[in-house]
Structure 1
Amino acid sequence: MSQPTIEEFTNTPAGTAFHRAYDAVLARWPDGTTSIDLESGHGSTRINAYGPPDAPPVVLLPGGGATSTAWFANVAALGARHRVHAVDILGDAGRSVPGPHPPRTVDDLLDWFFGVVDGLGLDTFGIAGHSYGAMIALAAALRRPERVDKLVLLDPNSCFSGMRPGYLLRALPLLLRPTEQRERTFVAWETGGRPLDEGWLDLLALGATFPASKTIVPKRPSGKAFRDFGVDTTVILARRSKVHDSRRVDEAVRRLLPDARTIVLDDATHHTLPVHPADAVNAALLEGFGGR
């Protein structure tokens, strides 16, 4: 059976439940949040924005399936000092809709990203990305470092070190046949039974059946790619992450980017971020974007 289009999905009970959950999480953003749809040949991109329009801009890229709303626990803290632009990644779960020429390669994906920030009128900006969003953020900073004045990567997988085989093996059933229950079971395993926000978890789980495009994965950069990389970089690691060994990632960051700062969150796992532990995540984000 072929995958439904986003329009077809929207008109199903599963689609209705997903969008209701998306709106419920977005409703927890502060008053003054605005939603923007930017149109291009790649498609329609949804951005949720908050903060003073004239404040230094930051762009937030979520993990796969999490949607831009996942930053609900962080946006008030960031928006006190910055203009926050949280993006639904085109082709992934959310309210962005691929158009006639959707991204098919990493170059296309980065063209889409820079088209979005151009459409927002941003010349230079900070970027924070979690998980898959961190992979895109790093690739964008490597491609156009003159545009990125601060880079913050939350538990970045496949950026500085490989992923644990056990994590990939555990994820395999979800990747082969994603369902709401499999998503919940997988996240419960990775987070080790830590209490999770129910509204956010509902959205993530309901997004398992969203008709996402094939994921475009930037390659892990070689050591040579970092030789002249001058972007101010902060890497926030989840000590309890099951995606990778956080100590090895820390060591790789220190070797490849000796001027980067690393912050390790003791009680975080890969999939508790960026929601938990919110206070520690917010302090780390503000440190990463500090001085702007």
Structure 2
Amino acid sequence: MMSARTTPSPVPRLAAFLAAYDRLLARWPVPVEALTVRTAHGTTRINACGPADGRPLVLLHGGGATSTMWFANAGAWAEAGHRVLAVDLIGDPGRSIHDGAPLGDLPGLLGWLDAVLDRLGIAEADFCGHSYGAWIALRYALHAPARVGRLALLDPTQCFVGFRPGYLLRAAPLFLPGRTPHRARSYLDWEATGGPRTDPDWRELYALGYADFPASPVVTGPRPTPARLHALTAPTPVPVLALYADHSRTHRAHRAAEATRRALPHATVATVPGATHHNLPMAAAPEVNRHVLTFLTPQHP
């Protein structure tokens, strides 16, 4: 999932986006606690649910998706006893406010996440990321393996294979001037071809965030090298789950799954039939929730 990074703007047109954000958050089936923590980069919003003494599960959304995208997943994971912490990425559309130092580069992004965990008093957590959020989660596990217990990656991008050329051509207009909600809706509808319909509330939230937040640089980078990924296998392997959307247009799911198995032989890898890239956590929620909960249980190897 691709998105332009953002900086805060007080203009009234953002009211529609914030109202859409709150409507989607209201669909979470469990009580949600809005947490905010201050770092050098600004104020980070975390939507938390589940028992306060549960094992922390940090959720990292895809670009432009906001933490509300977990509406079909967070309840199941919270009710299973996890302390779910869904983070709004700093600088991305959402309720985090990027009014401090620029992130700059990958170390800056990972340092921001270090600071968020520090402010929350979390020494170690399990992580689950989708798309760009999966790339951040993987990079964070390589950066701070002692802080990552288990790592779940949902249709990860730029982790084990690159983007399909056709996808890059279709997504490129998203980064051109003159952004409109229609352009974002058209992109989402194209990507969902062959799969279930995109949730209309989330589709509208994504489109409004894309159009109404001013662009700023995206913090990204190349795929980790095989040698770098080896750090997750020794001396003590970090358990990894990788779920791929069968109809994802960002990459060829079966090739991505094979590349994951080659890079991380200890990983649990599966492909979800019928799912598309953006729809995976929502439309395929029953299967995604089952896979993730099974993976997070202590008995899992």
User: For residue 44 of structure 2, what is the aligned residue in structure 1?
Assistant: 45
8 Å contact 2:64–2:209 — kept in the other structure?
yes
Shift of 1:28: 1.0
Deviations 1:269-292 (A, max 9, x none): 111121111111111221232227
CA distance in 2, matches of 1:4, 1:185: 21
**1:4 Cα deviation (Å)?**
9.5
Q: How many angstroms apart in 2 are the aligned matches of 1:289 and 1:215?
A: 31
Query: In the TM superposition, what whole-angstrom CA distance separates every residue of 1:59-96 from its partner, at most 9, and x where no partner exists?
Result: 00000000000000101101012000000000111011
1:250-282: CA deviation from partner (whole Å, max 9, x where unpaired): 111111100000121001111112111111111
1:218 aligns with 2:221: yes
Which range is displaced more, 238-247 or 28-37?
28-37
Cα drift, residue 238 of structure 1: 0.4
Corresponding position of 2:294: 287
Distance 2:225 2:153 in 1: 17
The number of aligned residues is 287
Q: Hey, what does 1:207 align to over in structure 2?
A: 209
Which residue of structure 2 lines up, in the alignment, with residue 123 of structure 1?
Answer: 123
Match for residue 73 of structure 2?
A: 74
> Aligned equivalents of 1:202 and 1:19: distance in 2?
11
Report how far residue 102 of structure 1 moved.
2.5
Q: What TM-score comes out, normalization by structure 1 length?
A: 0.95
Q: In 2, distance between residues paired with 1:274 and 1:69?
A: 11
Checking the alignment, whether the CA contact within 8 Å between 2:132 and 2:156 is kept in structure 1 is: yes
**Residues 46-195 of structure 1: matches in 2 within 5 Å?**
46-80=45-79, 81-177=81-177, 178-192=179-193, 194-195=196-197
DSSP-derived class of the 2:85 partner: strand
Give the CA deviation at 1:130. 0.4
Q: Residue 211 of structure 1 aligns to which amino acid in structure 2?
A: P
Gaps of 5+ in 1: none
CA contact (8 A) 2:6 2:92 kept: no
Q: Distance in 1 between matches of 2:285 and 2:19?
A: 24
CA distance in 2, matches of 1:246, 1:65: 22
* Distance of 1:100 and 1:261 partners within structure 2: 39
Give the Cα–Cα distance (whole angstroms) in 1 for the partners of residues 118 and 66 of structure 2: 21
Worse-matched range after superposition: 70-79 or 171-180: 171-180
- 2:253 aligns to what? 246
- CA offsets per residue over residues 128-165 of structure 1, 9 Å max, x none? 00011011000000011111010000101110001100
**How far apart are the structure 1 equivalents of 2:167 and 2:7?**
30
- Tell me the secondary structure at the aligned position of residue 269 of structure 2: strand
- Cα displacement (A) at 1:212: 4.4
Question: Does the Cα contact within 8 Å between 2:7 and 2:91 map onto a contact in 1?
Answer: no
**SS of residue paired to 1:153:** strand
SS of the equivalent of 1:39 reads: strand
- CA drift of 1:181 comes to 0.5
Query: For the Cα contact (< 8 Å) 2:127–2:150, is it kept in 1?
Result: yes
Task: Give the partner amino acid of 1:207.
Answer: G
Cα distance in 1, alignment partners of residues 43 and 37 from structure 2: 6
Amino acid at match of 1:216: V
From 225, 230, 235, the counterpart of 1:227: 230
Q: Is the 8 A contact 1:67 1:88 kept in 2?
A: yes
Alpha-carbon distance in structure 2 between the residues aligned to 1:5 and 1:249: 33
Aligned CA distance change for structure 1 residues 132 and 4 (closer, same or farther; 3 Å): closer
